[in-house]
Structure 1
Amino acid sequence: MTKLYKLLSLSLLVLTLASCNFTENIDVQPDGTGKFSLEMDGAGLLAMAGDKLGNELGMKNNAKAIDSTFSFKEIFDKKKDSIAKMSPEQQAAIKKMENFVMNIKMNPEAQQLLFSMNTPFKSVNELGGLMESMSALKELKGKSDKKSNPAAMLSGIGNDNSKLTFSYNGKQFTRKAIVSKEALEKIATDSIGMAKMIFASSKYTLKYHFPKAVKSVSNPDALFSADRKTITVEYPFTEYTENPEKLNLNVVFE
């Protein structure tokens, strides 16, 4: 598991120390099943610290690229004793992440550093709570060193300040984040300073593909593909974290 720890350490480094672009993808099939993925482009960090990152992953001088894939189930199997001590609610939240697979691609020559986390789903509605589940990873207790508890490191990807739900019935699709006033104040406070500077140029993009053509979208900034089955909405990352409700969507199909 040593290599896995190094890969997850790299994930944390990209997420916390560099300007990254995030893309939230949902691909819905005609029968309502599909695939959810969260992609992170860390090319900016690679340009600044490519050699250091290569050393972290044990790349040899003649190595040109890394392409590694692992499942969250591997991590949970190692932490099963800790999971068993959690409350039923926490265990349920963790279980939502079990089918996630993470892929890391690093190619210095191509200036490429990509992370993707993806999972299949049987219904769009079951995606509700995924972001909170990511935050629940921090409940996996381990040694004080985060490298000994790689699942907890990834808790920073989620956001436990808001409740994100999805729904789809063939006629409409909705993405809704509900945030309390107290949470908004906390987000605004946390966004001040270095973190806001680091992510100032980052983007958070929604890219959703549906089996039917879209008639209308509540967000006026949404872009359509030629067949109107794919919509894309891009937003500054810091503004999204300060107000997740700005990416709420209601999609109506033809």
Structure 2
Amino acid sequence: MKLYKLLSFSFLIATLTSCTFTENITINENGTGKFSVDMDGSALMEMAGDQIGSQMGADAKKDIDSTFTFKQLFEEKKDSIAKMSPEAQKELKKLENFVVTTKMSAEKKQFLMTMATDFKNVNELQDILQTASALQKLEGSANVGPMGSGFGNNNSKLSYTYDGKKFTRKAVIDKEKLAEVKKDSAADMSKMMFASSNYVIKYHFPKKIKKVSNPNALFSDDRKSITIQYTFTDYMENPDKLNFDVEFEK
């Protein structure tokens, strides 16, 4: 299966039923780290694996275990990218180093997808999810967004900061864009599709955590990691609900 066909099909699955999206950040002692977004659509495979298999035809008869970079995908779509504006091309270039891993098995009722990249400083991740929504601009992919239709494009600007003493995740809502979306009838359909989906944040730090501003944060035994679960509806409609600060022990 071609990279773009596989990715497009994966995004389609993400829009159909309940999925769990997990945003992972691991920060090392020197400030470098890894960022990833995982999507678990196994619930859909459990409910409709046979129907999905028939849509995929011959590809459904074999398990898929695929790993590729967006750089490879962009090479496949280079003609379409060349027609895009310089600004859009620049946005896509930010995604080149992302590695996409997909595991799908109709027999095992499994569908897992991960987009991951390394970073030298957490500040590099500013608006990374919104940048990923630039994939929608690729020719022939009007309804395709990373990990599902419109994923990442929740009408906010997301930033991360970390200085060794404090970590902050902050989304600033574009109220004008959000108002426009709420007027769009497609928004109701999108809300319905993601009503039973969850958005989970899992962050791992090199220091013990003193406190987190979100009272629902769960700590690991060593207090160096936190997990916070939200509804996907909150992620899309109230992205500032996912804002929080983490303070570390000295």
Q: Which moved more, 1:66-75 or 1:184-193?
A: 184-193
Distance of 1:244 and 1:3 partners within structure 2: 34
The answer as to whether partners of 2:4 and 2:73 remain within 8 angstroms in 1 is no
Instruction: Return the letter of the residue paired with 2:153.
Output: N
Residue equivalent to 1:69 = 67
Superposed displacement of residue 239, structure 1: 2.1
- Aligned with 2:188 (options 193, 202, 205): 193
Name the structure 2 match of 1:113.
111
**1:205 aligned partner:** 200
Which of 237, 244, 248 does residue 242 from structure 1 map onto? 237
Structure 2 match to 1:175: 169
Report the Cα offset of residue 169 of structure 1: 1.0
Identity of aligned residues (%): 56
Q: Is the 8 A contact 1:35 1:121 kept in 2?
A: yes
Cα separation, partners in 2 of 1:75 and 1:35, compared to 1, 3 Å: same
Q: Shift of the alpha carbon at 1:187?
A: 4.2
Kindly state the Cα deviation for residue 22 of structure 1 after the two structures are TM-superposed: 0.5
Unaligned 5+ segments in structure 1 are none
Shift of 1:193: 3.0
Q: Determine the structure 1 residue equivalent to 2:58.
A: 58
Which shifted more, 131-140 or 39-48?
A: 131-140
Residue 156 (structure 1) aligns with: 150
CA RMSD after TM alignment: 2.3
Residue 3 of structure 1 corresponds to 2
CA distance in 2, matches of 1:57, 1:246: 42
Flag the 1:209–1:57 CA change in 2: closer, same or farther, 3 A.
Answer: farther
- 1:123–1:186 CA distance, 2 compared to 1 (3 A): same
Deviation at 1:218, TM superposition (A): 1.1
Name 1:221's counterpart in structure 2. Answer: 216
- SS of residue matched to 2:116: strand
Give TM-score scaled by structure 2 length: 0.88
| Distance change >3 Å, CA 229–CA 193, structure 1 → 2 | same
How many Å separate the matches in 1 of 2:162 and 2:201?
16
SS class of match (1:157): coil
Q: 1:103 to 1:88 in 2, by over 3 A?
A: same
**Unmatched tracts of structure 2, length 5 or more:** none
Counterpart of 1:31? 30
Is contact 2:154-2:237 (8 Å) kept? no
**In structure 1, distance between residues paired with 2:57 and 2:40:** 18
CA distance in 1, matches of 2:17, 2:119: 31
Pairwise CA distance, 1:79: 3.2
